[in-house]
Amino acid sequence: MIKRIKVGQNSLLNCWNEEAALDQGVKSLLYSSRDSAFAFLNKSSKYHQINKILSFLLVGCGFETIPSLLLVTVLFPVFSTGLLITGNINEGLKFGAIGLASGLLLLFQKQFFNYVRLMHQTVFTIHQRLRHISNLTESIDNLFYVLRNYKRIYKGLSLANNMSDFVVDPNSVSNNLHQLNDMLNRSLFEQENFGLFSHTGTVVAVYGYMQEAQDDYILPLEAVGEIDAYLSIVKVIKEHQAKKSNFCFVDFVEQQEPLINLKDAWNISIGSTQAKPFGIVLGGVNDPNNALLAGPISSGKSIAAKTIGSCILLGKTFGIAPAKSARMTLFDAICAGVSIKMDDDPGYSSFTNKSDRVLEMVDYIKKNPTKKIVAIMDEPYNAKIDESAEILTYDLGAKLATHSHVICVMASRHNKPTDLVEIGKWANYYLDISEDRPNDFERTFTLLPGKCEWWYNNAAKRNNYIKFID
């Protein structure tokens, strides 16, 4: 039913696109002006059917074109010439005039034949579109009655009642829609093909009704959209059940302290087959609010930070997360400072861009002390001198530690920010780099708690790793 509704929805929306070529063709070929006093005729099937019959009477069947052409181009001239030769001039002129009139009639007939052919092609296209809309209307009816039999599901859908007036109580909808639904239920729209002798009047009239039915379709389509969203969510969860990287429904908890508790979370931009799931707990009563992802460059710190951010964002919007399990409070805002690009202004550096973004985030946090906020930061400062970036990053972390309504995940390659654990509210994490043989490194993308000591204390190994990365 949902698939039929989706197909019909595309046709429905196209009916209201006044710039579309088909709509322009309908207006010019079949309709009276929508602004004129005769616009009511656009919704009269009898009017359009009479129009079709009159067109055929003027045009003929079109099949006598060839014999008429033969008659005009060969028989009449020959016959007229013969009469002239025999000396009966009056008779010859009479038949010559008849030949000329027949030629003009043929030209007139050909033009009208092209008109009728174009009209038939246009009505054929409209019929195909209205067939999809007829299926849409029928599917909305069926979907509503199916859902109403499952009371728990029906009550859980906030927009399900939007379909009730459309389906159950036709008197509550506009008279225009009432007439439209009656016409769409006719057997004409069950036929896949539209023939030369099909009821053109009904097709064109229904299309006329469609032009005034936009408002009546809004509420039921909103309800279908909600249902489709839930079905898509369930489909994603079921598709990942047998994989090592899962999707889950988020368990939202109501408490004063912000909380993030993820098990086997993974980054959806990488894909479920290549992702390296990890777990992390931040906030609540017993755990630090903030996580510093520190250590080697190109180890996966940014990916881990974005993974946490995506879990929160998907949880807040769709109620699911790319994880085996996810438990969190419902956050009021997500502040992100990742992938900050350099401004086009040559006097506006990447460092300035990142600094301005940090100031905006800190200012927002200070002005909203009652909101639960998540801040995701990737190398918040990009100074040319590492010592400056270290100090600035540390000072930023110290400020954020004073805000209990905030959970911050910050990625940094610098050493000094790892000392934030001493002031509390911060925990160190790093992405593991294995070395089975000297100078043979492998990035495992496994998130581990603690500080990556060798990155800061073993200069030789750090330099070898940098060469390995380059």
3-state helix, strand, coil in the chain (%, to 5): 55, 15, 30
Asked if the model's pLDDT at residue 31 lies above 50, the reply is yes
Of 295, 239, 249, 250, nearest to 272 by C-alpha is 239
Are 269 and 338 spatial neighbours (Cβ–Cβ below 8 Å)?
no
| CA gap 9, 3 in Å, rounded | 10
pLDDT of residue 32: 56
The pLDDT of residue 314: 94
What are the angstrom distances between the C-alpha of 444 and each of 235, 380, 410, 432, 453? 30, 25, 20, 6, 17
| Least confident span in 14-23, 337-346, 373-382, 405-414 | 337-346
Within 10 angstroms of residue 124's Cβ, the number of other Cβ atoms is 17
Query: What integer pLDDT is reported at residue 65 of this predicted model?
Result: 44
Residue ranges of the domains in the chain? 2-231, 248-469
How many CB atoms are closer than 10 A to CB 376? 24
E strands, 323-367, in order:
325-328, 333-337
The arithmetic mean of pLDDT across residues 317-321, rounded, is: 92
Residue 375 class from Cβ within 10 Å (0-12 exposed, 13-18 middle, 19+ buried)? buried
pLDDT tens string 212-268: 777 778 888 888 888 888 888 989 999 998 888 999 999 999 999 999 999 999 998
Give the domain 248-469 fold: Rossmann fold (3.40.50)
pLDDT digits (tens, 9 = 90+) for 153-193: 777 777 777 777 677 665 555 666 767 777 777 766 776 66
Query: DSSP string of 113-130?
Result: HHHHHHHHHHHHHHHHHH
Residue 402 pLDDT class (50, 70, 90 cuts) = very high
Q: Across-strand partners of 335? A: 375
3-state secondary structure of 5: helix
Instruction: Give, for 13, the enclosing helix (H) or strand (E).
Output: helix 2-15
Place of tokens 């992702």: 275
- What's the pLDDT score for residue 164? 72
DSSP state of 425: S
192-208: pLDDT as tens digits:
666 655 667 777 777 77
Structure tokens at 447: 């998130």
Tell me the mean pLDDT in the region 28-50.
60
Tell me the pLDDT band of 269, cut-offs 50, 70 and 90: confident
> 292: Cβ–Cβ under 8 A, 6 or more apart, which residues?
397, 410, 411, 412, 417, 418, 420, 421, 426, 427, 428, 429
